[in-house]
Amino acid sequence: MKYIIGNWKMNGNISEKKSLFSALAKVKTRNKIVICLPFTLLNGENYGITIGAQDISNHENGAYTGDISATMLTASGVKYVIIGHSERRKNHNETNEIVKDKAEIAIKHKITPVICVGETAKEKDSGKTKSVIKKMLMQSIPDSGKYIIAYEPRWAIGSGKTPTMDEIANAIKTIYENLPTPVPILYGGSVNKDNAHDIISVPHIDGLLIGGASLKSKTFIPIIKSIE
């Protein structure tokens, strides 16, 4: 079984959710499909599709305006949550330590965290990809519990650029060799129907984290079918 996780980011509305989810409900697959929605779309009919969130507070409750707690997510049926996405790290200054705190609180409430790691363009050009990944893993992953790692080269997110298969393989190998215990490893970064099959064939890749292509059935379902 492979994981195919869609990240809607700050996109979508109720009618678009209904359109995709009703189409996905008709797709037969042996893989695990998860759609990580904006908070406003977590409730309502999910057509049997597993839902995830895009962030979680590292606090249980209290005076944290704009934050969403783990209990709020579980009440909405959330089973997975993306943590430490490159856009959160960049735009909201999320540190590895914050990511670890969020992962641990998710696990405490039986939500599986999808912890993102990856290098910037500057770090890549400086030959620091491996050292950056190692540090992020060391400081971001929880001490125990079930979690998933997603490798997303930060320079590829939203750029339309995709690393070579060798670059992906080397980064995934670094993650695999530096995990304390085996956990699923995903790849995310400009995934589409034309490259999904090749990417999923890289050793130790257990699934995909998909951004824009997960918004519409015409772009998402072909990816699902390409890796059956």
Choose, from 16, 104, 152, 204, the residue flagged as catalytic.
Answer: 152
Sequence-ordered list of residues with C-beta below 8 angstroms from that of 174, at least 6 positions apart, any chain:
129, 130, 133, 134
27: number of Cβ within 10 Å: 15
Contact 224, 213 (CB under 8 A): no
Which runs of consecutive H residues, i.e. helices, occur in the chain? 14-24, 70-75, 86-91, 96-108, 121-125, 129-140, 165-177, 196-200, 217-226
CA distance 197 to 201: 6
Contact 152, 118 (CB under 8 A): yes
Can 16 be counted among the known catalytic residues?
no
Q: Which residues are paired to 35 by β-bridges?
A: 6, 51
122: number of Cβ within 10 Å: 10
Choose, from 85, 87, 94, 119, the residue flagged as catalytic.
Answer: 85
Can 152 be counted among the known catalytic residues?
yes
CA distance 144 to 189: 27
Q: Quick one: tokens of 203?
A: 């050793």
Q: Which residues are catalytic?
A: 85, 152
